[in-house]
Amino acid sequence: KYAVKTKHILGLEACVILASVKDHEQFSFFSSFPRIPEDWTHVGRVNPTEELELTFALKQQNVNLLEETLSLVSDPDSASYGKHLTLEEVSSLVRPSELTQKVVRHWLQSHGITNCLTVRTQDFLQCTMTAEVAETLLPGSKFHRYTRDGQSLVRSSAPYSVHDDVHQHLDFVGGLHRLPPRGLQDSSNRKQKSKAGVHLGVTPAILRARYNLTATDVGTAQNNSQAVAQFLEQYYSPADLAEFMSMYGRSFQHHSQVDRVVGTQGAGKAGLEASLDIEYIMSTGANISTWVFTNPGRHESQEPFLQWMVLLSNMSDLPWVHTISYGDDEDSLSTAYMMRINTEFMKAGVRGISLLFASGDSGAGCRHLGKEQNSFRPSFPASSPYVTTVGGTSFKNPFKVTYEVTDYISGGGFSNVFKMPDYQASAVDAYMKTVAATLPPQSYYNTSGRAYPDMAALSDNYWVVINRVPVPWVSGTSASTPVVGGMLSLINDQRLLKGLPALGFLNPRLYKLKGQALFDVTEGCHLGCLDEQVQGKGFCAAPSWDPVTGWGTPNYPALLAALLAK
């Protein structure tokens, strides 16, 4: 009788959990059954006295107004273009109501939870408590320890519920379910794929030649900065960065050190992903102050990506461009969680911050739905309408600086969660008409969803210095993303010197350029499902925008001119 009263019924186990709750109370489930990735090993239940840190995402006010504001400050045809908000102004717009704050705090305090930190926007609370208290606070949750490659995390193995009185005041509770994926690279052999014969290999000099950057295209503005964010127990090595710059940065002015690390840099060997990100944003966005956001790593129950999002809500002085090589399957995350993260992206955009995400390295992806039925598998945050998503390309002739074609791993497709934003509707419609005869079956993707990527850059066969050794064959959209980020930082540099605001959320302006100032990529297809219907093929590149390489790759001087206009 009890389970029937609840808003969200999630099968037999959920009903059993609810039936054990006191009769006069009513609870609602926040989560579906967590999917523990197979590469994580279950260790066992955690000690009841073990301390956890959970993140409570409080319901915000005026989210529709926030979206309208973002649209106005990001549209070059709007009178409000570039009139970005301060963190204080964002806070006064979205801050949870007094009632929401009071109800949530009272609920926590009634369970003896008083060790909580908030943020300047007051829409996140991070609280420490024992596992025993957490399981009482969130009926249904059961905290276990999981390990992978020496990394240990604590997560709940079952869905959690929240008292109905509190449910309407929360978006989600973080620190229970999401285990970090492997990163964008599905396997280490993707990162270092060797090919027969000699290969030119991509270096800063090659990128500068292809994208028409000269030795004088370096940063000089005092108030400019850029950042990379890393979440997968990866650390960059200052010694590797210095070595990389001494080998590959001699022809242009550059920094050889990161100016600020936010979080805790781990010890041990440097990670390939982390080295790639920092070496290429700092050699493309050369001579620009660079920050690294890294794993805080204080509690095994923390979710590093969520920690970074919380930090953005608590820092008034932030770099203008952030590049992030991180993603997860949309279907592995709850819609409530993704919607709230989307709002966090909007909060960054209205402040003039450009967020660039790698589109992923699985092409269109593939999800097996059952008996001989498949669909493509979009990735988040790449599929968010409020970030700029970067795909990947290869040189047509790997021995020369030639034109670019699709890198078959370049992530792209259509969101199953977010509707197509207005700024891209005509571009996507034109693509669908152009390639109508060769499109995959419509059952594989959501034609009305947010389409990505937005643009691209080389993602194939990079040189990276790791543990003081130059390593070739490194590939992935985690290479192309910091390259595009570095170029946007250089454009911001010139804008700031002219007294113009930072670019902020780029997409509305990018789509209005209609491909102007970009090298159009028109050859090649990316990966899809290995089945009879699509036979391993996803979408294919075409003239103008396409869901493999977006609008194409940057022609830096032309893009600079186009984005300095106002």
Cis check: omega of the bond before 381, within 30 degrees of 0:
yes
Q: Is 98 exposed, middle or buried (0-12, 13-18, 19+ CB in 10 A)?
A: exposed
DSSP code for 454: S
| 284 alpha-carbon distance from chain centroid | 20
* Amino acid identity at 368: H
Three-state SS for 229? strand
Residue 292, strand partner residues: 228, 261
CA 473, CA 250: separation in Å to the nearest integer?
Answer: 22
Compute, in degrees rounded to 10, the torsion defined by CA atoms 71, 73, 76, 78. Answer: 80
- Which positions are catalytic? 273, 277, 478
CA 346, CA 79: separation in Å to the nearest integer?
Answer: 19
CA 566, CA 558: separation in Å to the nearest integer?
Answer: 15
Instruction: Mention every residue, 6+ apart, whose C-beta is less than 8 A from residue 160.
Output: 29, 30, 31, 138, 139, 140, 141, 173, 176
Cis check: omega of the bond before 453, within 30 degrees of 0:
yes
CB 360 within 8 A of CB 379: yes
Q: HSE on the CB side for 24, CA within 13 Å?
A: 0
Closest listed residue to residue 355, CA positions, set 396, 384, 316: 384
The Cα-based distances of 291 to 7, 140, 225, 268, 554 in angstroms read: 44, 40, 8, 20, 23
CA 199, CA 287: separation in Å to the nearest integer?
Answer: 29
Backbone angles phi, psi at 61, to 5 degrees: -100, 160
CB 288 within 8 A of CB 485: no
CA 298, CA 296: separation in Å to the nearest integer?
Answer: 6
Identify each DSSP E strand in 72-199 by its residue range. 116-118, 124-130, 143-148, 151-156, 161-163, 170-174
Residue with tokens 């595009």: 484
Instruction: Mention every residue, 6+ apart, whose C-beta is less than 8 A from residue 370.
Output: none
Instruction: Mention every residue, 6+ apart, whose C-beta is less than 8 A from residue 415.
Output: 330, 378, 380, 383, 385, 446, 449, 450, 451, 452
CA 51, CA 172: separation in Å to the nearest integer?
Answer: 20
Please count the helices (runs of H) and the strands (runs of E) in the chain. Answer: 16, 29
